Structure 1
Amino acid sequence: MTRPPEDPQQPAGSVPRPDAGEPSGGRSQEIRADLPDVPYQTLVDSVQDYAIFTLDVGGHVSSWNKGAARIKGYAREEILGKHFSQFYTPDAIARSWPQAELKAAAEQGRFEDEGWRVRKDGSRFWANVVITALKDAEGRLIGFAKVTRDMTERRRAAEALHQSEETLRLLVEGVKDYAIFMLDPGGHIVSWNSGASYIKGYRRDEIIGRHFSVFYPQEDVAAGKPSRHLALAQRVGRVEDEGWRVRKDGSLFWANVTLTAVYDESRTLRGFAKVTRDMSERRRREELERSSQRMNEFLATLSHELRNPLAPVHSALAAMRLAPEDAVLANRSLAMIERQVTHLSRLVDDLLDIGRITSGRIELRMEPVEFNEIIALGVEAAQPALDAKSQCVEVRTHAGSIPMRADKTRLVQVMQNLVLNASKFSPPGSSVTIATTIQNRTLQVQVMDQGCGIGPQAIDEIFNLFMQESRPGTDLHGGLGIGLSLCRSLVELHGGTISAASAGAGQGSTFTLRLPLTASHKEDPRPGAALPAQGPVAPELQAQRILLVDDNRDAADSLAMLLEICGHEVTIAYDGAEALHVAPRCRPHIALIDLAMPGMDGFEVVRAMRLVAGTELTRFVALTGFAQPADRQRTEAAGFDAHLVKPVELETLFGTIARLRPPE
């Protein structure tokens, strides 16, 4: 190959000044090889961190410094005159990349690239390369200056960092037990993991960009708690808090929250990392553990409370035996026995309910209810105790109708307990006030009395199981210390909260009940409306194609028979795989899916079935034995259109089928 003549003013083997070939950030320019600076050549030759060498116009190596020998492995005498393409990988040579680099450098004056290069021993290294065109005084191209830097370690570090960040991202995204997300400096949500969706109920696209104060109860927002937490985290670096938080559906849960300020290298605030854990179960367990410490006190109280009504019953029976002909005595004795038996029955009922709650066996029967009716029934149930002390109840309701979904029996029980508690600790002739208001999507009910009040030392403990201010057996008012604990448990099962407040001894008490008002009450806006009671199927209920998925064959077969008797076309699948197989054929209007199945559970089935042809208009119903609010939230988040609890009442089932009927 013929090489161009060397410039007579350029000493053989000389190189341009290094500023013509900086690895990065240099200005695009042509370098003129008219600087016969031999001492500078010596300086360049001694550089070892950069491979600095020149090429002739055809790309053959014409100079070689110590850095080039160290990085590429060739001695000067081995490489001079060789074509620089031998530093490139076979695939780069196959696509003529070396020639393309020289062409770009000749046309633009300078070309920069990063990529794999090859050493003498065949090993590869990641290189930053700058090629600069060399021209003589007349502007004729006479060769190229090439500066190469070994960037392998930096690339490895960058890849390791990227891999670490990706691993961390996947790890955070896969965490289900913790809500882990980021806020910008103003408190707006910028990231959202699957645990956050599971715990708080929001999908990623619903919550990104919204302010994190949406998770706080209204009273905390009004008090400025979210902004205080941000300011404190920015000032001290990290804030930890426990308290009530709000899910998307308005229900509350007890949360442990950590808020950490995140800064960049220049100490500029980038935002906040927030980790939230649902501690409702732990809180309930801790309270149960604390209650066990009071068991001895409770047993003493129970003995006292049971013996008290038994004593007058025993006396009344003895008196009736001694004077069997005395009608007046008999009537008085029977009335006394009836009062004491009623009291005993109430004690036993409370004990049984607490036992069911603590063992997780209580089941709410949710239905459309009218809360003003619940208040009236609760007051009616407490009326004998009110009449005995000549007390009255004043109800101040904010609206003529307060529709919601709840377990009517249980909420009546809560209202009765609160009114009885107010009556018990209030003087004769006093009044009890019940007031309702709506705050956002939350119903607030306050029960206020004019009684003895609650001491500050007991205000936080009064809802604990078996808790009473006085020593067991010495309380003038009696009781087992169960009623308020039962109220709180039933309210929390409804996704609500209950709290107490008192200005002090002798100044009365206020109990505040908060219950979520979800959109579901719109299903039937009429107060007290009920499903048809004429039989399993109302005349207006149209026949549907139903896919029933349940691994319990007896349960599936028996329910299918009932549905078929009522005119529906039923296809049974005894596991998830069979459901996916038969769904395209039966094209169901409604799919009733059991959640707890071996292999594919109900959540996996509903996700997979949405991708199956023929199910575009299918409505999905979870049919399960899991009945807690968290279970309903999980099925809603998974895309189920309804949640039915086994054994499902037929009226509830048929009402759900009618409500989910697809459009004509």
Structure 2
Amino acid sequence: MNAETGFDLFAGAGVMRERMRRQNWEATALGPPRQWPSSLRTAVGIMLNSSYPMFLAWGPGLSFLYNDAYISVMGRKDGDEVGRPFADIWADIWSDIEPLVRTAMSGEAIFADNLMLVMERYGYPEETYFTFSYSPIHDESGKVAGMFCACTETTQQVLSERRQRFRLQLADRMRELAEPRDIAATAAELLGKHLNLSRAAYAEVEDDGQMLRILADWTDGRAPALPEHLTIRDFGIETADALARGHALCFADVATDACTRPYLSTFQALHAGALLLVPLVKSGRLRSLLMLAHEKPGMWRRENVALSEDVAERIWLAMERGYAESRRRHAEAALARQLVAESDRLRQLFEQAPGFMAVMRGPRHVFELANRVFTRTVGQRELLGRPFAEALPELAEQGFVALLDQVYATGRPFSGQDALVSLKPSPDAPPEQHFMDFIYQPVLDADGSVTGIFIEGYDVTARRLADEAVRDSEERLREGMEVARMVVWDWDLGSNRISYSDNTMDVFGHEADEAPPQWGAIHPEDRLRIMAKVDEAIAARGAFDATLRMIRPDDGAVIWIEARGKVLCDANRQPIAIRGISLDITERKRAEDALRDADRRKDEFLAMLAHELRNPLAPISTAAHLLKLTQAKDPQLRRTSEIISRQVEHMTSLVDDLLDVSRVTRGLIRLQPQLLALPDIVAATVEQVRALIEERGHRLTLTLPPNLPPVMGDRTRLIQVFTNLLNNAAKYTPPGGEIGIHAQRDGDGAVLAVRDNGIGIEPNLLPHVFDLFTQAERSPDRAQGGLGLGLALVKSLVELHGGRVSVSSAGPGRGSEFTVRLPLAGDTVLPPAREEPEEEHVPRMRPHVLLVDDNMDAANTLAQLLELQGYTVSVEYDAGAALARTERETPQVCLLDIGLPDIDGYELARRLRALPATAGAVLIALTGYGQEQDRIRSQRAGFDYHLVKPVQLDNLNAILSRIGAPAPAAQH
């Protein structure tokens, strides 16, 4: 009830009034009706009181309201749609009507007449037509606040008019045809294009009632051609029986219909998602079958089914007429020999002849007879009783009267082939060009005198144009085959002979009839493999494709060929031939080899780059630690050492990301999956990023529900994923920001989100944030750093785990959220954590360390650092000096660089293992090479540990602390 007017807007009968009375308007963008502006209430009242289909859209989101008459337009969309956005309800046609809506909302009324829209009102695409208007609705302030639509669906009217035009076109085209195949092909093509089909095929049923002989097979160019024969029983017994009774069968989806699903291979051969079968039964026997298909599933309109049945009947009648015309043509020859004696029969034959005919008498060539085809050809002019030159003056100017005079004077016939003739379709129209085949035959009386001329011929314009089109197509095909270096071939399995296209010499190096026998041209290393593929295809009545090498017989060159072939079968499904193509892909193979070589060189470059970058980082990192240890009381030096350490860690992280991305893209990363608890992964992640979070003063919130099932994953890699995300959140959020990690279970997956209220992401960057080298626009100081690798690595690692990662952001300055979804490890429960017995601390003597590195700065700074921690350290800068040192000293630990100047670290390790003094020493590789193959190689050379420069001193100290003899017990 409206408080101001006392008028209830939704009072009264009607489906939509009832829905609007029940509608929870507070949950919609429109709000309670009592708060609606008067212009909206007025428009709604007009709409609900109208029996004409109407709707209105109101507000910024164009909330959608409609009346009872509009329900039929909605189809299955009708339901709880009241108040939803216009664009959501009609999403399937929004791209078509959105410009019209925008025009109306700008204040300009718009009208559309019979606009075609492809709607999905019943679960499938449907061609519809509407006449409607969009009118702007102004609110009390005068601004356009909504739009109003009154519409009429004109689909039936438009399609009915189209069907009528189609019937007229079909009648016109078929009236000119006599050959059964031409009739069937023309009707199939017209019907296929009219109904937007993927295939329209017409088949006659042979006398056995089972075999279909395909007379016409029109397709939209995407469906493969049908074989010459099909068997009705291949459609299924139930379908065959229904067709025999003359029932048209509609299948909306052959993949799901109970009648077609068991015989799906047959219907897939028809390239059919939706199929209509129209049988024609005459005298109690199935005579023909019209097969119509859509590539995708969809319903068949009743009107189109009726139209198809009508077309099938018309094809039958036209073909019967064609057969009769064929029989009649045989009789025409006999009738022509009795022309004088049987003039009445001649006139009948004249009128029924498929070509044009005329008889002219006397030297002025006066028309005595002209059949309908002749009259139609020359434009329905008055001919009888008029001289040729007067009736057809434009032909007289083209020399045809002179030809008639010649035949009349000499008594010798004249014939023309593909003669170019200019004819006016009407006296006032411009001339049109035709091509004619004709003959001028003299008519003789009893004494042999010429009394007239008989003209017979055909308008062959369509044939001439078709021939030119075929020649043009063949020329383009030849040119395309030459450019693509493609050979087309047919292999007759019975005679074992292969026929080739004309360009065989250019591609294969032999003429078409001089091919090496059997498989002689195929490279011996590929021969058995290709023979097996071909035999397999023949046995399966299928196809094959293969890449192989061939040897050109003309120059012995080895070429790469991509061959594809399809086995052809007879009516009994016996293989009779293979049709195929062969492409010379030698240049492509060379390009691929070049790309692989470039990729290998790129990987070698990345490994060398990492090594060369890590080497100078090692002494810098060690020097920073030395500063921290030796100058701990000097706050400025301590801050300096911390800055150096952070920058070294950042540089090392960039190198590691670069190598990780390279390994992921080449598929070299192998996960080591185990049951993992997400809270443990989160704890490890937070620990790694804690320093940065505290440094920038962020507030970190963790939301981890209890009893979250475990995931199966690689612990190191998952920590790497979440560390990247959390590190980004900390870097790209201004100091004092809010960061949250939230985890939850979602069906059979675990979802973990990292949110922040930082700088956000531009909308145009969102689709590309996981691409390699993608970054937002940097500030001039490049404060955030990075190469744009981290998120690409995150995406790759998550997908290796069978998960997915996504990002969302409301825009610049509004933060972002990265969400990782990982599959749960079923119902597996993590075993309870075992409490490890606390190791008894046994004091150990510091081992003697031999440090070998040709980088003197790196060696000296690391030696100083170790000595500060109480280790005895010997330093050498090449392998020879190191081996000489072991003759004087017996180190327990050997820290060896790999890239030494005389012999490499691998060989040095093997020699140290062979010496009695150092056979039991702990060998630690200290190198800039950190890829998996480098670690495997160092292990095989005898190293116990593999550390990557710049070395993490905590890791080195942990190793060294476990080495050495127990310290002597204290003496009391």
TM-score range, shorter chain: 0.3 to 0.5
- Indicate the structure whose relative CO is greater, using CA pairs within 8 Å and at least 6 residues apart: 1
TM normalised by structure 2 equals: 0.26
TM normalised by structure 1 equals: 0.35
The structure with the larger Rg is: 2
